[in-house]
Structure 1
Amino acid sequence: MSEKRIIIIGDELVAGTADPRRLGWVGRVMSRTPFAPDQHVLSLAVPYDTTQGLVQRFATEVVPRLGRRCDNRLVISLGVGDIRGVRLSAPRTRLNLANLLDQAASHQVGCFVVGPPPLPGVEDDQLAHFSRACAEVCARRKVPYVDTYTALKDHDQWLSDLAAGDGLPGQAGYGLLAWLVLHRDWVSWLLGEEGEHAGVPTH
């Protein structure tokens, strides 16, 4: 089973919105990830998506892209739509993520979850609770989880980049998100091995 398909599902941060280079964190991560010719990266972004939307999109968008006799992987990028948009309850968010991970497992798809970063218009307490809840769901299923909130909530470069970009990250912010992903079991997850944890750069 040499062919690998990496499907990335999420909101506007997956699309790299507001990045002048149009790479976002996804493009930066992939540019630093060695791939063979038969390894495919498929990005599925819907602005302001919620965990409920991600669950619904699994059957209609993810499943049709799964390859037979492939090593199928799913990267789930969580945004703040549950809090800032439809305002889903914490138990509902947990259930949605659990359902999404369980659906993926039923299709033998390995998952990697990127948590929501701190963004304007979302209270710190709410987002901290959201991130912890999602981390717990992932831990129970032994799925790697990138806690971007804790790493970036007081990070000067992240905060200044948001201020300059009208509430969305630019080149520096997406670079920080990419760094966090790359240093949180990314390569070992792709290889099917258990990796090491790392913190956020302070530059």
Structure 2
Amino acid sequence: MRDLRICFVGDSYVNGTGDERCLGWIGRLCERRFTRDFQLSFYDLGIRGETISQVRARWRRDCEARFPEGADNRVVLQFGINDIGNITGTGRQVEEDASVEEAEAFVREVADAYPTLWVGLPPANEACSPMHPSEGLEVSFFQKDAEALNARFKTLAETLDVPYFDLQTPLLANRDYMASLTRGDRMHCDGTGYAMIANLIDNWPAWNAWFEDQ
């Protein structure tokens, strides 16, 4: 029987932070793929607030601890939203050029080791900015920064020949998704928003191909 192991590596959107059902998009996505025909194990390796460099620093040990020899081991990445966060008093967490440079090294590392998919960063939650995720911390997110980074990530993915799913375009055009950003914890989308993300990725040919590859 096929032993499929998938590590979802990234930040709070991988974690599903703000979802009242505690499923996020990865739980909903993998639920649809449950079958007795093979074993599917998925691992939530999303940590809230992490920038790309922080995600990169831990990905290998986190994945290797969950990937046994002989299994069909794969990785899905999503990161970047925290890079564009502007902290009051200090500015943007990671400048655009630095994010892209780090992403190139990071994605190359992962793709050299395992079959890899890359999900783009979601739209910025401008409606609820500035946010106060913890005491003494105020952070704002701007859509122009999210769009610029997404465009460069998309181009980079083509260069690296790694499938990339652009979330920005369909979600920005979806009024229900944008409204979901103002509910829940008012920092992330609520469960309806995560369900929309899962619906989009579930129809992605690159994701579907993983389940046709028996």
Q: Name the TM-score, length of structure 2 as normaliser.
A: 0.81
In structure 2, runs of 5+ residues without a counterpart are 87-91, 126-139
Other structure's SS at 1:73 match: strand
The amino acid of 1:17's aligned partner reads T
Q: Percent identity?
A: 24
- Aligned-partner Cα distance in 2 for 1:127–1:143: 20
Contact 2:4–2:38 (CA under 8 A) maintained in structure 1 = no
**Counterpart residue number, 1:198:** none
1:158 to 171, 177, 188: 177
8 A contact 1:162–1:168 mirrored in 2: yes
CA separation of 1:191/1:94 partners in 2, compared to 1, >3 Å: closer, same or farther? farther
Q: Which runs of 4+ in 1 moved over 4 A?
A: none
Aligned to 1:81: 82
The corresponding residue for 2:123 is: 118
| Residue type at the aligned position of 2:16 | G
CA contact (8 A) 1:33 1:187 kept: no
Cα distance, 1:56–1:190 mapped onto 2, change above 3 Å: farther
Mapped partners of 1:66, 1:116: distance in 2: 25
Structure 1, unaligned stretches of length 5 or more? 194-203
**What's the C-alpha RMSD, in Å, of the aligned pairs?**
2.0
* Corresponding residue SS for 1:7: strand
C-alpha distance in 2 between matches for 1:191 and 1:72: 15
Structure 2 counterpart of 1:188, one-letter code: A
Q: How far did residue 151 of structure 1 move?
A: 1.4
Alignment coverage as a number of residue pairs: 192
Report how far residue 77 of structure 1 moved: 1.5
Q: Residues 105 and 154 of structure 1: is their aligned pair in 2 closer, same or farther, counting only changes over 3 Å?
A: closer
Shift of 1:34: 3.6
User: How far off is 1:97 after superposition?
Assistant: 1.7
Q: Which has the higher strand share?
A: 2
Equivalent-residue separation in structure 2 for 1:28 and 1:174 (angstroms): 8
Q: Is 1:179 aligned to residue 206 of structure 2?
A: no
TM-fit CA distance, 1:26? 0.8
- Say which of 103, 123, 131 aligns to 2:150: 131
Q: TM-score, normalised by structure 1?
A: 0.85
Superposition deviation, residue 147 in structure 1: 0.9
| Alignment check: 8 A CA contact 2:111 2:162 kept | no
Which of the two has higher C-alpha Rg? 2
CA distance in 2, matches of 1:88, 1:190: 35
Q: What residue is the counterpart of 1:197 in the other structure? A: none
Letter in 1 for 2:3: E
